Amino acid sequence: MRIDEITKNKTAFMELLLIGDEDEAMINKYLDKSQLFVLYDKDTLTSLCAVSRINDTTIEIKNLATYPEYQNKGYASILLDFICKKYKENFKTLILGTGENDKTLNFYKKRGFVETHKIKDFFIDNYSHAIFENGKQLIDMIYLENNLF
């Protein structure tokens, strides 16, 4: 396995980015300002993670996605561990926002993330169409954080 940082042509990974965030316009708002990391198993792209610096102490995962056929095989966990280790020396806190999806929330909580707050109606107010996960419409954005030290 290998993890590469993508510094050019980040939009070439749009298909996978759209798995983590269904709205291309929203992705384009953060993609240029994010560091993009991709995980390959042998030569097969499985997952990616876009990370943005918020301030001197905090970074944010903007997108963590794995192709459906590679989900539940540990790839996102490997990438998340990589991100935590990479930024641990220079940042105190890793945050992320996600929808009200129990599977996703449990994934992060098992890795030490805790809920901090919600942004009411985020998915209604910021997306051009309704977003559904596991048959449930996403409405509020739930923020989680993890201390990196």
Q: What is the pLDDT of residues 98-118, one digit of tens each?
A: 988 888 899 999 999 999 999
Query: Which pLDDT does position 38 carry in this prediction?
Result: 98
The answer to whether 68 and 19 have CB atoms below 8 angstroms apart is yes
Tell me if the pTM is above 0.85.
yes
* Residue 143 reports pLDDT greater than 80: yes
Please determine, for residue 149, whether its predicted confidence score (pLDDT) is greater than 80.
no
Q: How far apart are CA 71 and CA 137, in angstroms?
A: 21
H/E element holding 141? strand 141-147
Average pLDDT on 89-101 reads 93
Q: What is the DSSP letter of 110?
A: T
